[in-house]
Amino acid sequence: MILQEDIAKIFDATQIVDVISAFVPLKKRGTNYIGCCPFHNEKTPSFVVSPSKGIFKCFGCGEAGNAAHFLMKHEHYSYPEALHYLANKYGISIQERELTEKDKLEQGKKEELFNINEFARKYFSNILLNDEQGKAIGLSYFKERDLSDETIEKWNLGYSKEGWQDFYLHAKKNGYDDEILKLSGLTIEKENSKEMYDRFRGRVIFPIYNIGGRTLGFTARILSSSGKTKAKYVNSPESDIFSKGKVLFGLNFAKNAILKEDLCYLVEGNMDAITLSQNSVENVVATSGTALTLDQINLIKRYTKNVTILYDGDSAGIKAAFRAVDLFVEGGLNVNIVLFPDGEDPDSYCRKLPQEEFKSYIKDKAENFILFKTHLLLEDAKDDPFKRSNLIKEILNTISLIADQIERAAYIQQCSSILNMKEEILNNALTKVLRERLLSKKKLEKTQESSLDSEEKQEYIPEISPKKSQKQILKDNFPDEQQERSIISLLLNYGDKETTQKVIQDDNTEKEEVFLVCSFLIGDILSDDIVFDNPLYQKVFDIYKEYILEKQTLPNLSVFTANEDEEIQNLSASLLMSNYKISDLWGEKWKISVPLPQNSNTINQNVKESLLSLKLNKLERKIYEINEKIKQEDNYEDQLILLAQIKTFKAIKKIISSELKRIITK
Ligand SMILES: [Zn+2]
């Protein structure tokens, strides 16, 4: 928890050019700096940093934000981590929220858990490498699997002896008490006799690390054939530091390679991950044999949006892959899949093939998941009409999980050709699936949170049409998008400038008066009760309004560019940079010019024009809505009232239109 006033201090001290040039080479151009964008591939620079505004924007991919946002995006920091980095860089001392006694106790306990796990990791590793039993059973197992000494050391693999108390006695001798040993799950207390015994016995040990490389717990595999009745794998139990569904085996080693390749290979078994990593496929993580969770998907998403699943080719592997695929799609990731020949898993196949051959196998055989699923199910269904209809349902279900409408449309197109079905039919069926999901979701929410305002829960059901552009979608959602955006842009860019506007006085005569742009815009919009369609714009408007009306001061731009709401950060950074244009004036030389209003005349005109266009749009919609109402109204008198309303609105519309025309043609 960092105090708000400290956050303000951090942003006051932060020099954004300084921060970014530690990662991206920047060149000065006019008042700004320019470089090649680190977030997309480009050869000509379109990444602009404004030191005066403390923000950056890429004109290629649209990424924009403040220094903390840059660090979050580039270094994959969390927001607090980015703030700490900046505080450190600029020598700002942060007063963390006072830790309560309870917090301190909990933190101490976590630290103790890390310590005992580190201690155990070293112990198991020592047994594997130096103990007779460890060498004969554990080490020879890893050697049979072709693991090198370096690999065994890198992953800190270990072995636990077959006795009941080997580890327990060693830990006691080193001063660890029963309490923490029980808490870590490394030893277990017998219920009746209170006797302690080791959880891991006669097993090879795989330490599980967090992203920072600290030991969270262990997975242990049984080797002896006498253990047929025992579980093949045993894990550390859930604790304050370890939760199986929240870690991915090998991520601490793989994260840089994942970033570099912009791709993550996902395998099931720990040995798969270790073997691949040893054979120079380093961007690989394992689910450790557990079912994939959303938390794990979010972990991967911090590094890349591209995942290739490497699963066994048997039916269990395919089933697991199907399940994983739906989760990934829902999480917004691009998923490919590679299946191995029957009887092979990634580990065995990787050891069978020469390194380069294996690498090209997983590259070439990677198939898009939806097409993979469609082909596979089609093979199974053949011409059986019942099976075919189930197959279509199944595929549409997966496609419906894709959040991006354009992407969905592309898949529908591909599936229509594979299945030899009309796109239109698939589209209609998909709309049905989407509607059903929405309805059942609403029903669920209703029962869960019946107290919540139902209007808040209203959700937009997208129409399925492959030809719609992103802009069109935005327009469908927020019909006055463009007009609203220009108002917010004026507020942020010129809110503190002066503007001369005509006002009508009490005696109906016109008079010119000088206002601040922000006061004029906000006053005018409030007096007409205008509400923004796009809730994000409304939020920015409300923040600005609060400063002007309640705090009676102009907001610092960092109120928006360093807002805790990331959407506001992005929007404001984007709008504040939008009046810069990059053009190549002299061949190779890239220059930034400022084409938007600079003098008071253009500001005056822009303010008027934006307000009038917004009002005109809102009026047109109002008139349309009333017209629709009239069609449904049976009562003649009510119809007349509505008609009268339309008449009034049309009269206002006429005045606004002619005023707007006058301004534009002036
Ligand atoms: Zn970019």
Structural domain boundaries in the chain: 4-89, 109-242, 371-447, 477-665
Q: What distance in angstroms lies between residue 64's CA and the mean position of ligand 1's atoms?
A: 9
Tens digit of pLDDT for each residue in 460-508?
333 333 444 555 555 566 677 888 888 998 899 888 888 888 887 778 7
How far is ligand 1, taken at its centre, from the CA of residue 118, in Å? 42
CA of 493 to the centre of ligand 1 (A): 23
Which residues are near ligand 1, the ion (C-beta closer than 5 Å)?
37, 39-40, 58, 60-61
Pick out the chain residues at pLDDT < 70. Answer: 1, 96-100, 103, 224-229, 441-478, 578-599, 664-666
CA distances 449 to 226, 437, 446, 455, Å, are 53, 18, 5, 13
State in Å: Cα 47 to ligand 1 middle: 6
CA of 565 to the centre of ligand 1 (A): 21
For tokens 């992203």, the residue is 211
Query: What is the CA(36)–ligand 1 centre distance, in A?
Result: 8
CA–centroid distance, 502 to ligand 1, in Å, is 43
In terms of Cα–Cα distance, which of 374, 368, 367 is closest to 426?
Answer: 374
C-alpha 14 – ligand 1 centre gap (Å): 22
pLDDT at 664: 67
State in Å: Cα 181 to ligand 1 middle.
50
Q: How far is the CA of 42 from the centre of ligand 1 (A)?
A: 8
CB atoms within 10 A of CB 287: 24
Note the pLDDT of residue 219.
Answer: 94
User: 625 vs 268, 475, 553, 646, CA distance in Å?
Assistant: 56, 17, 38, 10
Closest CA to 300 of 344, 274, 263, 345: 263
User: Would you tell me which CATH number, out of the four given (3.40.50.2300, 1.25.40.10, 3.30.565.10, 3.90.580.10), belongs to the domain 4-89?
Assistant: 3.90.580.10
DSSP state of 236: P
Considering the domain delimited by 109-242, tell me its CATH architecture.
Alpha-Beta Complex (3.90)
Ligand 1 centroid – CA 48 distance (Å): 10
Q: How far is the C-alpha of 593 from the C-alpha of 584, rounded, in Å?
A: 10
Distance CA 5, CA 11 (A): 10
In angstroms, what is the span from residue 59 Cα to ligand 1's centroid? 7
- What residue has token string 């808490």? 183
What pLDDT does 467 receive? Answer: 43
* Helix pair 270-278, 251-261: axis angle to 10 deg: 50
**Nearest Cα to 40, choosing from 60, 21, 26, 15?**
60
**Which residues is 513 bridged to in the sheet?**
501
Quote the ligand 1 centre to 61 CA distance (angstroms). Answer: 4
Spell out the residues 6+ positions from residue 489 whose beta carbon is closer than 8 angstroms to its own: 575, 578, 579
E strand map for 543-657: 581-586, 589-593
- 159: three-class secondary structure by DSSP: strand
Task: Please state, in angstroms and rounded to a whole number, the distance separating the CA atoms of residues 255 and 283.
Answer: 7
**Spacing, Cα 38 to ligand 1 middle (Å):** 6
- Main-chain phi, psi angles of 263, to 5 degrees: -160, 140
The predicted-structure confidence for 243-255, as pLDDT tens digits, reads as follows 888 899 999 899 8
